[in-house]
Structure 1
Amino acid sequence: MTSQAADEPETVVASRRSKLTPEREQEFFDAVLEQIRECGYDSVTMDGVATSTRCSKSTLYRQWKTKPQFVAAALRANRQVRFVGIDTGSLAGDLREVARAAGDWSGRDTKLLQALAHAVTQDRELQQALREALVEPEVCALHEILRRAVERGEVAADQPALEYVPAMMFGILRVRPYLTGEYADSDYLVRFVEAAVLPALGLT
């Protein structure tokens, strides 16, 4: 056979066959993350995602090789920063807005964090992708909010509680479902900020 396809290296042909549009790729990413939220990481399979998105399993494996690589790519593609841009002019106001923003997405993201909790201890790439997508952007935004408060003189630079604000915010998001069976909504998080975070920073 002398066709052009026959003469080309196999990797080139495979690359052409696996070409996906950004919209189709995002459809795969949305499907796998939603299935993880609903069924847990271990229950999700490439077969299941292929069936729900009406594609062949070979298409998914050609693109991402393994389930952890696929999920890591999905997390990175869905990276969002909710706390960036919050600037009310006061630390108390900023942290209340952080609480409201966190409450708006706590159900979906907390469920995803819970579903991936064990898997990320087994796969470093998946762990890093989770941090890049859901943790580090928000922590950096919180640090910026706190830095501005220090510059305004609202809180001392050596205030010991400053270091623990991200841990307090992420901790309450993770732990409330275990304590009460409910996710931390905006009202609950605002009350938490007022009762625990602000007093820890020496604010009322």
Structure 2
Amino acid sequence: MSQKTTRARGAATEQAILQATLELLHEGGYSALTIDRVAARARASKTTIYRRWKTKEHLVLAVLQLLPMPMPERSSGSLQTDLIELFRQFARIMADSPLRGVLPMLVAECANNPALSHLLVPVNERRRAPLRKLVELAIERGELATHTDVELLLDVIQGAIAIRMYFLLDKLDERWIRGLVQLLMEGLRGPPQTRVKARKRTG
């Protein structure tokens, strides 16, 4: 058997294992996921699975890494425009992804599973990186104040999106995206300056 054929079979087996993991997560959640079930669904041996992934948590991590990452090609020079485009990309990615139903389960599992929680920290950091970069560029060009709390802003954005998608089970449509970005920009820029007119004395 040639090396090319061996690599092709190995890639096909890996894809089958990851697909089986995703299906089982979607059907029964994290607690129902076992290496035995993955092996049976993927028609692969447990030895093959453990050779690539040390634990069930590592297998879940590999599945999450299949989700494309929204990434603007370059900054437009306007944070408002950049945020709208980034959120549009994310909305398109998640629209038909089976991970949309899986992610809330994994987040809930992290509360009682330190091993899974530990592995998901860098995953979340990679998801925040493009957004963090856009905000930092806005600060550099003077669009936002230098004292802007970047990490708090990312928390607010992620929280709003999570509530919309995972609790309200609603889509990130264009109207919502633009509304969120406008609200964020108004808050970041602060209240408009008002002119205080001197009152004329009467009498």
Pick the TM interval, shorter chain. 0.7 to 0.9
Gaps of 5+ in 2: 1-8, 193-203
The answer to whether 1:116 aligns with 2:106 is yes
Aligned: 1:127 with 2:117: yes
Contact 2:57/2:119 (CA < 8 Å) preserved in 1?
A: no
> For 1:22-41, what aligned pairs fall within 5 Å after superposition?
22-41=11-30
TM-score, normalised to structure 1's length? 0.72
On the 8 A contact 1:103/1:186 being kept in 2, the answer is: no
Higher helix share: 1
Residue of structure 1 in register with 2:199 after alignment = none
1:93 offset after TM fit, Å? Answer: 0.5
TM-score (norm 2): 0.73
- The answer to whether 1:70 aligns with 2:44 is no
Q: Equivalences for 1:135-174 in 2 at 5 Å?
A: 135-160=124-149, 162-174=150-162
CA RMSD of aligned residues (A): 2.8
Residue aligning to 2:37? 48
Highest CA radius of gyration, 1 or 2? 2
User: Helix, strand or coil for the counterpart of 1:201?
Assistant: helix
User: Would you say 1:198 and 2:197 are equivalent positions?
Assistant: no
CA distance in 1, matches of 2:72, 2:11: 25
Identity of aligned residues (%): 28
Pairwise CA distance, 1:97: 0.9
User: CA separation in 1, counterparts of 2:77 and 2:54?
Assistant: 48
Shift of 1:62: 5.1
What is the CA–CA distance in structure 2 between the aligned matches of 1:62 and 1:49, rounded to whole Å? 14
The runs of 5 or more residues in structure 1 that have no matched partner are 1-19
Distance (whole Å) between structure 2 residues aligned to residue 67 and residue 141 of structure 1 = 28
Structure 1 runs (4+) greater than 4 angstroms displaced: none
8 A Cα contact 2:79 2:135, kept in partner: yes
Change (3 A) 1:25 1:178: closer
Structure 2 CA distance for aligned equivalents of residues 127 and 67 of structure 1: 13
Distance 1:185 1:46 in 2: 37
* In structure 2, distance between residues paired with 1:129 and 1:51: 25
1:117 counterpart SS class: helix
Contact 2:30 2:106 (C-alpha < 8 Å) held by counterparts: yes
Match of residue 89 from structure 2: 101
**Number of residue equivalences:** 181
Superposition deviation, residue 193 in structure 1: 1.5
Q: 1:57 to 1:43 in 2, by over 3 A?
A: same
Q: Does 1:90 align with 2:75?
A: no
